[in-house]
Structure 1
Amino acid sequence: MRLAVLGGGGFRVPLVYGALLRDTARPRVEEVVLYDVSPARLETIAHVLRDLAAGHDAAPRVRTTTDLDAALRDASFVFSAIRVGGLAGRTADERVALELGLVGQETTGPGGVAYGLRTVPVAVRVAERIAALAPRAWVINFTNPAGMVTEAMRRVLGDRVIGICDSPAGLVRRAAAALGLDPARVSPGYVGLNHLGWLCDLTYEGRDVLPGLLADDAALRRVEEARLLGPDWVRALGALPNEYLYYYYFARESVAAGSGPTRGESLLEQQERFYAGVRARPGDAAAQWRRARRERDTTYMAEARDATGAGERDAADLEAGGYEGIALALMAAIARGEPATMILNVRNGAAVPGLPEEAVVEVPCAVDGSGVRPLATRPLPGRFLGLAQQVKAVEQTAIEAALTGSEPLAVAAFALHPLVDSVTTARRLLDGYRARVPELAAVFPG
C-alpha cells in the first residue's frame, strides 16, 4: 500500500513513520510519499526518517515531492496534515485575538475561525485532486480545525474522508487509568465536536464507572483534564470535558495568561532551531527531532496548566503516543478488515440528536473493511448541546464564507462565536487577520 502524507515536511511526520515501522501485519504500507510546498522542510524530515529506519527490516520506502498530483497518484491512503499560512499564520491567529482581549488559540475561538477561513478553500482543492487521481483512497484528515475541514472535504469525498484527533482518546485513556482499568476494555460515551466534546459516561463490564471517578478526589487528581478545569467544576458538569473546553469555561483566565509568548510563537522559534540544526548536522537528525519533540510535548497547554496549577504532564501519558496510533489503527481496520471502535470525526446522521445530519461530529465509531459507522449516543444535556449547536453553526457559516469569498459571512462566523462579544469586534478581527495573513487576504481581498 502507498500512503501519501500532505504536509510531509511537518514536524510530527516522524511519529506516523515510527508507527508504520512498528506495524508488521499484512497488508502494510510499503511506500510513503511526502508532499510539501517546502523542499527544505521535506529534506529535513527525510533525514529524520532515514535515521528512524536504520536497523529495521523492510522499512517503508520514502519518496519526497513538491508536486501534489505526483504524491496522490495511486495512493491507498492520504494523510492530510497541512498548515495553510505556516506557523507565522498561527502566531497571527493567536495575536490578533489577544490584542482585542479575546482568547488566542489556534483552533478554538476567533483563531480557529481565521484558520478555517483560509484553510477550507485549499482543503477542498486538495479533495478535488484526490477524487480525480486516487478516487478509491481513504483520506485521514488531521488538518485543523479538523471538524470544519473534514466537513468541507466531505462535499467532494463523502464518507471516504475521516477526521482524527488524539484528545478524546487521551481523555478516555487517562480516565480509565485513574480507575485502574484497562483503556481497551472500557466503552466511552464521548460526544461532541472536534475540540468541543465531553466524556459523559464510561462503561466497564456493563456499569457506568464515571460517577465513581467524579466522586473520588484522589482518582480525579490523576486526570489532567480534571486538574486543568478543577474537580469541583467537572463534578458540577457531571462529565469530563475535552481539554480544549478550558478556553470556553475559563476564557478570562486564558486571556490573562496570554501576556507572554503564545504557543505559536514558541513553536515557531523551536522549529526554526530544529530545522536549522538538522540542515547543519544531518547525521544526528533523529536525535535532534526527539529532543525537540520532548520539549514540544512537555510544554503543551503550559500557559493553562500554569494558570490553574494543574502541574506538569504525566510522563507515562507522554509516552503513550497520540494521533499517529489512531491513524495506524484506522488504516489497519479498513485495509485488513480488523474490527475496531474509535472516536472519529464523521458525518452525524442520527448519531447526535440536535445537530444537523450533515454536520461532522466527534463520536465513537465502528470501523472495519467496509468503512466507518458512527454509533448512536445518548442525547446531550442542554448545557452541552447548546454550545455544540452554536459552534457548529459557526463552522458551517465559516465554510460557506470560505468557499464563496463572502465577507459578510466571514464577519458572521466571527460574530456568532460564543467567545466573540460583539459584531464590531468581529469586523475588527477580519480586518486584523486580513492585514497579517496573506493567505486569508487572498480569500477575502476586501
Structure 2
Amino acid sequence: MKLAVVGGGSTYTPELIDGFARLRDILPIEELVLVDPAADRLDLVGGLARRIFAKQAHPGRITTTSDVDAGVADADAVLLQLRVGGQAARQQDETWPLECGCVGQETTGAGGLAKALRTVPVVLDIAERVRRANPDAWIIDFTNPVGIVTRALLQAGHKAVGLCNVAIGFQRRFAKLLEVAPSEVYLEHVGLNHLTWERGVRLGGPDGADMLPKLLAEHGGTIADDLHLPRPVLDLLGVVPSYYLRYFYAHDEVVRELRTKPSRAAEVAEMEKRLLTMYGDPALDEKPELLSKRGGAFYSEAAVDLAASLLRGGGSEIQVVNTYNNGTLPFLPDNAVIEVQARVDRSGAVPLAVPAVEPLFAGLIANVTAYEDLALEAALHGGRDRVYKALLSHPLIGQYEYAEALTDRLIAHNREHLAWV
C-alpha cells in the first residue's frame, strides 16, 4: 500500500507519522511519500519521519519529493494538508478583517474566504494529477476550509472525503471525563465543518445512553471555560458547540480580543521555527511535546481510521467526516457538504440519519451553506462581484459597507494567488 501526503513538509506531519507507526496493524503502509515544494522543510520533516518509523520498527519506506506527479504516482490514497501562501498569508487573513471590525480568522469570515480562493484552484490541480496517476485513489482532505475544499473535489468528480479533528478531540475529551475508552463514546455530531454541535454523547453507539446531560451538569463549567463561552449559554443551548461557534456567538468580544494580542498566525510561526529546529536534531526520534500545542491533536488517529476504512474496510465502520448531504439534512441541498457521522467503507462515506435539527442551529447552518455556495463560485470562477456577494452573504459580515471594504482588502492582500486579478 502506498500513501502520499501533499504538504508533507508541514510541522503537523510528525503527528501523522506517529499515528502511522503506532497503528500499522490497522493501516499497513509499505511506502509513504511526503510531497512539498519547500525542500528545506521537507528534509527536516522527512528525516524525523524516518527516525520515528525506525524507532517503532515500522517496515515501511519513507521518501520525499517536491514533484507532485512523482509523489502521487500509483498512490492508493493521497492526504492533502496544504497551506497556500504559508503562515504569511495566514497572518494577513487574521489581521486585515479586523480593520473593518470583523473577525480575522483563517477558516471563517473574510479570512476564511481568502484562504478558500487561494486554495481551491491548487487543490483541484493536484486532484487532477492524482486522477491521472490512479483513478481509483482516494483523496482525504485535511486542508482548510475543509467543507468548501471537499465540495470542490466532489463537484469535480473526485473520490474524496473531508476530515477534521474537532469531533475526535471532543470524543477524547468526553471519554476522559466519563472515564471510559474513547471507542465507547459516540457523538451526535452535526453541522458543517467548523460549524458543529454535539447534541448527544452516547455510550456504546447510536442507541446507547446519552451522557450529555451528565457531562453538562457535572463538568459544564470546565467545558464552557475550554470553549471560552459563559456557562449559562451552554446550559441554555443544551449542547456543546464547536469552539469555532464563539466567532458567531461572541463576535464583537472576539474582535476586541484579537485587536489586543498577537495573532495566532504569529504564535504558530514562532512555534514552527522551534519545531523545525527540533526536527533537525538527529537524536530526536519521536514527536516532541511542543507539537501538541501546534493544533491538529488526534489528527493521526482520525486519518488512519479513515484511510483504513476507505482502502481496506479495516477502520471503524462509523466515523465523523465531511461528505455530500444527499438528503441527510432536509433543509440543505443534496450537494451541500456536511460534517456528520457516516458509514465508511471502500465505496466511500454515507451519512447516517440525523434527528431533526433545531431551528437555532439549522438557520445558521443554512446561512453558512449559502455562503459556501457563493464562496466556491468565487474560488472557481473569480471576479470581484463574486467575492463581494460571498462576503455579503456571510453571517459574520452581512453589511454592504463591510463587504465592499473587505473585498478590496482581500484582493489587495492576495493578488499573487488569484489568477483572475
TM-score by length of 1: 0.88
8 Å CA contact 2:275, 2:291 repeated in 1: no
Structure-1 residue corresponding to 2:262: 261
Residue 376, structure 1, aligned to residue 343, structure 2:
no
**CA gap 1:420/1:345 in 2 versus in 1, 3 angstroms:** same
Match of 1:349 among 303, 309, 326: 326
Partners of 1:294 and 1:133 in 2: how far apart?
34
Partners of 1:114 and 1:190 in 2: how far apart?
27
Aligned positions of 1:58-97 closer than 5 A: 58-97=58-97
Partners of 1:419 and 1:116 in 2: how far apart?
16
8 Å CA contact 2:26, 2:308 repeated in 1: no
Any gaps of 5 or more consecutive residues in structure 2? none
> Offset of 1:270 from its aligned partner?
2.4
8 Å CA contact 2:76, 2:311 repeated in 1: no
Q: Secondary structure at the match of 2:157?
A: helix
Any gaps of 5 or more consecutive residues in structure 1? 301-320
Aligned positions of 1:30-429 closer than 5 A: 30-158=30-158, 160-204=159-203, 206-214=208-216, 216=217, 218-223=218-223, 228-258=228-258, 259-275=260-276, 277=277, 282-286=281-285, 290-296=288-294, 321-338=297-314, 339-429=316-406
Structure-2 residue corresponding to 1:313: none
TM-score by length of 2: 0.93
8 Å CA contact 1:191, 1:352 repeated in 2: no
> Offset of 1:181 from its aligned partner?
4.1
> Offset of 1:61 from its aligned partner?
1.0
**CA gap 1:109/1:237 in 2 versus in 1, 3 angstroms:** same
- Residues 373-424 of structure 1: per-residue CA shift (max 9 Å, x gap): 1101012111111111111111111111111112201111111111114222
Q: Secondary structure at the match of 2:355?
A: coil
Q: Which amino acid aligns with 2:54?
A: A
> Offset of 1:292 from its aligned partner?
3.6
Residue 29, structure 1, aligned to residue 26, structure 2:
no
**CA gap 1:286/1:422 in 2 versus in 1, 3 angstroms:** farther
Query: Which range moved further: 199-208 or 414-423?
Result: 199-208
Q: Secondary structure at the match of 2:306?
A: helix
Q: Secondary structure at the match of 1:373?
A: strand
Partners of 2:4 and 2:215 in 1: how far apart?
41
Q: Secondary structure at the match of 2:397?
A: coil
> Offset of 1:83 from its aligned partner?
0.7
Structure-2 residue corresponding to 1:17: 17
Aligned length: 416
Partners of 2:292 and 2:337 in 1: how far apart?
32
Query: Which range moved further: 30-39 or 366-375?
Result: 366-375
Q: Secondary structure at the match of 2:327?
A: coil
Partners of 2:376 and 2:55 in 1: how far apart?
46
> Offset of 1:157 from its aligned partner?
3.4
8 Å CA contact 1:85, 1:439 repeated in 2: no
**CA gap 1:222/1:181 in 2 versus in 1, 3 angstroms:** farther
**CA gap 1:391/1:443 in 2 versus in 1, 3 angstroms:** farther
Q: Secondary structure at the match of 1:403?
A: helix
Partners of 2:274 and 2:186 in 1: how far apart?
42
